[in-house]
Amino acid sequence: MTKLGIIGAMQVEVETLLGEMTNQRTTRKAGSDFYEGTLEGLPVVVVQCGVGKVNAALCVQILCDCFQVTHIVNTGVAGSLCNELDIGDLVISRDAMYHDFDCGVISPAYQVGQVPGFDTVAFPADEKLISYAFAAAESVNPGHTRIGRVASGDQFVCRKDQKESIISLTGALCTEMEGAGTAQTASRNGVPYVIIRAISDKADDSAEMDYPTFETIAAHRCAQVTASLARQLNQK
Ligand code: ADE
């Protein structure tokens, strides 16, 4: 039986989903509330993990250990790293990597993003979830979705030089703060995952102005896509 774990960092990223789901039980663990119920008829567990990689990782581990989720989706807003992705557009992860993880000093064999013990720099998302999420995104905002890499770090990116450095290090489409933490933890648990992000800003000098204006619109769009993904998974 499919049970989808849904993880968002901030209240604005989970509130629409909480409003749309039937909530059967709420359990508090490690400072977060885990809401069990159904969304579009699909069994789900929704959690607001808080901002950053560690918060994401620990909530994914709890989703796996305590709620036995079979699939994980990380949803929320992101800064665009590519000219074709405008505010409100959507990104589905092909894979996710850290832009602020660097063990190159220990050994030049380690590339930026590579976690020792892993043989790749990026954690691949699940192919089936990618195609369902893409179809879901297209149903919400046709012609405005790209599939590609998500770059995560414990930084809100809001300077042009910072943005350009992340683009050259990762080749990612967007940047945010929880995707790769979710991806690494899901991978270590053998649970398929995908990231669904809506663009709230351009991750450059305009980001500080744009983010508060577009955060809510982008977050709610992402929630619509996630609900549509749940609908599709329920029909499989
Ligand atoms: N989430 C939304 N916009 C972001 C940005 N510019 N940097 C990091 N995380 C974000």
Q: What is the pLDDT of residues 119-158, one digit of tens each?
A: 999 999 999 999 999 999 999 999 999 999 999 999 999 9
Active site residue 15: no
Active site residue 154: no
Nearest atom in ligand 1 to 207's CA: 6
Ligand 1 centre to CA of 24 (Å) is: 32
Which of the 8 DSSP states describes residue 155?
A: S
* pLDDT band of 209, cuts 50, 70, 90: confident
In 3D space, the residue among 43, 59, 67 whose CA is nearest the CA of residue 8 turns out to be 59
Q: Which long-range contacts (CB under 8 A, 24 or more apart) does 24-31 make?
A: 27/66, 29/62, 29/66, 30/58, 30/59, 30/62
Phi, psi of 226 (to 5 degrees): -65, -40
Share of the chain above pLDDT 70, in %: 100
Q: Is 79 in the pocket of ligand 1 (CB under 6 A)?
A: yes
Ligand 1 centre to CA of 11 (Å) is: 15
Rounded distance, CA 211 to CA 234, Å?
33
Ligand 1 pocket test: pick from 157, 158, 213 the residue with the most ligand atoms within 8 Å of its Cβ.
157
Q: What is the model's pLDDT at position 31?
A: 97
Model-wide pTM > 0.85:
yes
Among candidate residues 89, 178, 201, 210, the one labeled active-site is 201
Q: Which residue's CA lies nearest to atom 2 of ligand 1?
A: 78
Instruction: Decide which of 214 and 28 is more confident.
Output: 28
Ligand 1 pocket test: pick from 201, 215, 217, 221 the residue with the most ligand atoms within 8 Å of its Cβ.
201
- For residue 229, is pLDDT > 90? yes
Q: Is 113 in the pocket of ligand 1 (CB under 6 A)?
A: no
Contacts of 21 (CB under 8 A, 6+ apart): 35, 37, 38, 39, 44, 46
Residue 168: helix, strand or coil by DSSP? helix
- Mean pLDDT across 180-184: 98
For the stretch 63-100, pLDDT in tens is 999 999 999 999 999 999 999 999 999 999 999 999 99
Ligand 1 centre to CA of 202 (Å) is: 8
Q: Is 37 in the pocket of ligand 1 (CB under 6 A)?
A: no
Contacts of 206 (CB under 8 A, 6+ apart): none
Share of the chain above pLDDT 90, in %: 93
The residues facing 98 across adjacent strands are: 152
Q: Is 41 left (phi over 0), alpha (psi -120 to 50) or beta?
A: left
For the stretch 36-68, pLDDT in tens is 999 999 999 999 999 999 999 999 999 999 999
* DSSP-H helix ranges across the chain: 11-20, 53-67, 127-140, 160-170, 179-188, 207-235
Nearest atom in ligand 1 to 218's CA: 2
